[in-house]
Every structure is written in C-alpha cells, then in structure tokens.
Amino acid sequence: MNKWVVTVTVMLGTLASALLGSIVNVAIPYIQGAMGASIEQITWVSTGYLLSNTIIMPIIALLSARFGRKNFYMFGMAVFLLGSALCGISWNLYSIVAFRILQGLGGGILIPVAQAILREVFLKEEQGMAMSIYGLGVVLGPAVGPTLGGWLIEHHNWRWIFYVNLPIGILDLILISLFIRDPDFLVREKSKIDYLGLFFMVIGLGAFQVFLAEGENKNWFASPYITRLAIISALSTIFFVIRELTTQNPAVNLRILKNINFTMGTLLGGTLGMGLYGGLFVLPLFLQNLLGYTPLDAGLAMLPRAIAMAMVMPIGGRLFNRLGPKPIVGFGLILVVISFFQFSKLNMNAGYWDIFMPQFLQGTGFGFIFVCISTSTLLTIEKKNLTFATGIYNVFRLISGSIGVAIAATFVDRGTNNYYSLLAKNVSLFNRNALEYIAKVEQVLGLPHSIQPDMVTKEVLNKLVLEQAQMLSYNHVYTLIMFVFLASIPLVFFLKGLKDVEIDESGT
C-alpha cells in the first residue's frame, strides 16, 4: 500500500480531532448564551470531551486487538462524525454535553491510531519525516482552531464549528475502508478482559479530569467535593497501576514504561502539552479581555505560531536523522523559554509585533520539539506494542495539557485578586501619583476638580487597577510556564536517536 495514500488518510482524522479540541473554546460564550447555562455549567462542554478522550486512549490497543484495528479505527471515525452532527443540532445543555462525550470517545481513537500507523508504514530512517507529518495535524489543529472558529461564528453561527467536520470525516471514512489494513503482526485476541483494571482506570482518570475542570470554581481543596475527587483519583490510580503490573493480561500494558527512552520522551511530551495548552488558554484571554480583540482578530493574531510550526516541522524531521534528538530538542526548548520570557514582559501597550515575535519563536521551538520527541519516544518500541505506546503517550500529553490549563486558570484568577489588592493600596489621596492621575481623569472627563473623586472617576480608577492586575497575573503565568520548560531541559539527555537504537540492537 502506498505510504502517502495511507498518510493522507490518517492525517484527515488526526486534523479533525485535534482541530475540534480548540475550536470549541472560541464558541463557549455563544453556546452558553444559546443554552442559558452558567459559566460553571458550560465548562462541561469542554470537560466532557476531554474526559471521554482521556478514558478511551489507554485502552485503544486492547480494543484494536479484540476487534481489529481497521474496524476499530472506522468505528472511531463513525462515532466522531455522529457526535459532531448531534452536537450541531443539540437543543439544551444536557444534550450537548452528552454528545460531546460521544464525540470525544470517537476523537480519542483517531490520534493514537494514526500515530501508530504512520510509525509502521515509514521505514526507520524515515521516522522523523513521519512524525513531522503527524505533528502538523496534532499541533496545527489547536493553533488554527481559534482563527477558524472565530470566522465561522462571525459569518455563520456556533453550530458550524461542529458541522465543518462532517465532510472531512465522511471522506476519511471512505479512505479508511479502501486503504487501511491491519498489520500482519496484529493478533486478534479474544482473551478475558481485565474489567477490574478498566474500572480503576476509568474512575481514576475520570475523577482526575473532573478535579482539574472543577477545582478552580470550587476553590480547590477548600471544597470537600474537590478533596474527595482527589482522594478517589489517587487511590484508583494506585490500584490501577498495581493491578496492571500484576495481572497476566492487563488492559493497559504499563510494563513498556520500563523503557527509559519511552518514559522520558513521554514526560517531555507532557511538558510540551502543558505549556502549549496553558499558553493557548492564556493568550486569547489577554488579547480579548485586555487589548479588546474580537475572537476572529485574536485567532488571526495567533497564526504566527502555526505558521512557524508548519515551516520547521519538515526541517526538524530531516535534522533528526542527521543530528539526533538531543541538540534539536534542546535548541527548541531554549527558543520556547525565550518566547515565554518575552510574553512575561508584555504590557497594556503591546502592539502587533510584540505579539508576533514571541509566537513565531515559540512556534519554531514547538515544531522542533514535537517532531523529535514523537520520533524518539517511539523509536525503541516494538511494533506489536506501538498502539499501547501511542495511547499512553497521547493520554499523558492530554492530561498534562489539562493540568496546564487548570494551573493557568488558577493563577490568572488568584493572581488578579492578589495584584488588585496590592495595587489598590497605592491608589489613595495620600499618594502623589494617584492624585495627579485623578486630576488628569477629571480634566479629560470635563469634571470639576474636587478633593474627593466622584463615582465616574472612581470607576475609571477601578478599571485601570483591575486591568493592570490582570496584566500582571498573565505575566506571572507566562513566567511560570517558562520555568517549567527550563526545568525539563535535563530530560533531553535521555532521548535516543537512530544511531543509539542501532547500537542497542547490535548488542542484543
């Protein structure tokens, strides 16, 4: 089978699934208005999708072996399409959350299976190129999603963010039926299913995703509900790990984590997911809430990151074969650290180029990192374990992304409150700078000067202090993400390239 035909086939599904993860975020305020939901309720439109994504990914290998990978892949695309169509016609909050969960079950199948297929159809010396193609779908989807979502909402309505997937999915379903085949090494197994392991996994991952989604709204561990979720998640995860390492036929083959190269690559992939999704969460808020961008303008302003990724990923794939992962990932991490440092210095007067340059640097760094990590992580995995490995790799990246968003949301919210209290102390009649600013405000508004500022002046001052507090909280989040990437640099030295794998193989 022609590898390029297979590549186009699996990348259509990958792009559709990755795109939907970010395109919905732009539409959340519009869906909230249409459904008459509160802010806390509407978050389940995103949480439901992530929850089902997280639960299905680790058991893809189990289900592929039981039903055949091609059949299971087609099932995933069909469920994804059905969920998309139903989300578009949903009539209330409960219906759209239920359909998003259904959609997430299908979408969670597409990305790991696509990665495993690409890893198989390309030769070992072509793995860098294969993962650069895969990365274009996984990383560009979240990058382009806000722009496309803003355009669809502005020119149509929020329902079109779901309908846009239908023609892509139908075409991909036809291509899967024609061109995807089960590999020879895949053995159809009808052995007993590890239901106890699946139970612990579903409870552990499910509770953890809800913990992340609801934590900030409930004030984290100040809430007994959130505390119980954390305990349930921790205990279920411990029981799951013990079960999977001791049973003969585990639902998820955790033993592959003994492969140091795979484990370190997965950790770095998680770091990438945390920073990427945390940054993607914060930047639109900054652009829209403080700089007054529309959703479409905010999406367009975020395009430089996507453009840079698209440019460097093919280059990263070629360089991987020549240089190996260590220098390329290290260089990419340095670029990302510099970009987040630049973001941490932004202010209310930030112009287009102040936003463009850090994003372009960041996109360049992410492009190099993603390709090399995806390639190196799976390089030492046997083909029979690839589907297990891609499931674990992607679910860890997804969970890390959720952690990144939760941390970013918490620091933005609490940072704003803390900085507001700190700044407000300096806005008093005993502060010379404050008195001079009050006089300027009164002059601009045409108000008579008085010792005590009137309500209009107070509102202007309050808005100014709030905006500056928000700005400082965004700076704080970007600084935090910068240090996360800085701390991950030592993990680079554990990654292996083609030459390292050849040495290992010759010695076995």
Q: Do 385 and 455 fall into the same domain?
A: yes
Q: Do 146 and 234 fall into the same domain?
A: no
Highest-scoring range by mean pLDDT, 88-102, 188-202, 395-409: 88-102
Crossing angle (nearest 10°) for helices 303-323 and 352-379: 40
Q: Do 326 and 225 fall into the same domain?
A: no
> If pLDDT is split at 50, 70 and 90, which confidence band does 503 have?
very low
Looking at the domain assignment, is residue 256 inside a domain? Answer: no
Residue 452 pLDDT exceeds 60: no
Domain count of the fold of the chain:
3
Select from 142, 157, 184 the last residue of a domain: 184
Tens-place pLDDT, residues 256-305: 988 888 998 898 888 888 887 788 778 878 888 888 887 778 778 888 88
**Boundaries of domain holding 231:** 194-250
> How many CB atoms within 10 Å of residue 411?
22
Select from 138, 155, 184 the last residue of a domain: 184
Cβ(140)–Cβ(15) under 8 Å? yes
CA angle 69/74/79 to nearest 5° reads: 125
> If pLDDT is split at 50, 70 and 90, which confidence band does 101 have?
very high
Looking at the domain assignment, is residue 189 inside a domain? Answer: no
Cβ(373)–Cβ(265) under 8 Å? yes
Least confident range of 215-224, 245-254, 425-434: 425-434
Cβ(371)–Cβ(131) under 8 Å? yes
Residue 125 pLDDT exceeds 90: no
Question: What is the mean pLDDT of the segment spanning 452-466?
Answer: 71
Q: Do 151 and 101 fall into the same domain?
A: yes
Give the pLDDT score at 69: 86
Q: Do 311 and 230 fall into the same domain?
A: no
Q: Please choose, from the candidates 12, 61, 70, 104, the residue with its C-alpha nearest in 3D space to the C-alpha of residue 398.
A: 104
Tens-place pLDDT, residues 187-205: 666 667 888 999 999 999 8
Select from 203, 221, 250 the last residue of a domain: 250
Tens-place pLDDT, residues 344-375: 998 888 888 899 999 999 989 988 988 888 88
CATH classification of the domain holding 312: 1.20.1250.20
Tens-place pLDDT, residues 230-267: 999 999 999 999 999 998 888 888 889 888 889 988 98
Cβ(140)–Cβ(282) under 8 Å? no
Enumerate the H helices of 36-92 as residue ranges. 39-42, 44-56, 60-67, 69-88
Q: Do 358 and 475 fall into the same domain?
A: yes
